């Protein structure tokens, strides 16, 4: 599903732990790391798509997380020309995403990257809050910065205990 402007509706998921560290996963068969994300179906709300993608990509159910917040509207990024796909009628220029901040409330052992028949990730680690905005593929960095800037106040009490602008992991 591509909108009339050429953007595919999508959701992004920032999953945090009690210590403010964020879930950072490596794409299967690639060396690219990112937050979980995925396309919306035409009959889904962004929140419904987020919970579906969360389960498909991490094995976590809605009861395993607490929803802390969402971005107010769409954040867009354009795909580099070499990554653009054409649909039957419209070119896909990029993604428009609603981002969600979740807190893991279940045990970390609930995370299952092999939960679906087509896993998207083969490895994960927990990283400092701003690490993803500096280390995701270049064309996603502005969206990551905007989403994390929106979510930072929601984790402020936890992040005050760490240097949130560091890139160590």
What six digits make up the tokens of 117?
A: 């028949």
Q: What domains can you pick out in the chain, each with its CATH number?
A: 7-159 (3.90.79.10)
Cβ atoms of 38 and 56 closer than 8 Å: yes
Q: Could you read off the pLDDT of 146-165 as tens digits, one per residue?
A: 999 999 999 998 888 765 45
Q: What is the pLDDT of residues 1-43, one digit of tens each?
A: 888 888 999 999 999 999 999 999 999 987 899 999 999 999 9
What is the rounded distance in angstroms from the CA atom of residue 9 to the CA atom of residue 94? 9
User: What is the per-residue pLDDT for 85?
Assistant: 65
**Residue 103: is it exposed, middle or buried by C-beta count within 10 angstroms (0-12/13-18/19+)?**
middle
**Non-local CB neighbours of 120 within 8 Å, separated by 6+ positions:** 25, 27, 28, 36, 56, 57, 113
CB 27 within 8 A of CB 50: no
- Rounded distance between C-alpha atoms, residue 137 and residue 139, angstroms: 6
pLDDT bracket for residue 87 (50, 70, 90) = low
pLDDT in tens, 93-145: 899 999 999 999 999 999 999 988 899 999 999 999 999 999 999 999 999 99
Q: Would you state the pLDDT for residue 37?
A: 96
């Amino acid at each position: 599903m591509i909108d009339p402007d050429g953007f595919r509706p999508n959701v992004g998921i920032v999953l945090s732990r009690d210590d403010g560290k964020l879930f950072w996963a490596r794409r299967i068969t690639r060396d690219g790391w990112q937050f979980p994300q995925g396309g919306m179906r035409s009959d889904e709300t962004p929140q419904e798509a987020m919970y579906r993608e969360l389960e498909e990509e991490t094995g976590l159910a809605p009861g395993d997380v607490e929803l802390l917040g969402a971005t107010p509207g769409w954040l867009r990024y354009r795909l580099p020309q070499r990554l653009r796909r054409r649909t039957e009628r419209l070119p896909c220029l990029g993604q428009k995403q609603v981002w969600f901040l979740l807190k893991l409330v279940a045990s970390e052992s609930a995370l299952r990257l092999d939960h679906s028949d087509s896993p998207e990730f083969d490895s994960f680690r927990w990283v400092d809050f701003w690490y993803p905005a500096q280390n995701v593929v270049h064309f996603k960095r502005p969206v990551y910065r905007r989403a994390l800037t929106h979510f930072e106040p929601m984790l402020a009490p936890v992040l005050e205990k760490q240097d949130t602008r560091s890139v160590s992991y």
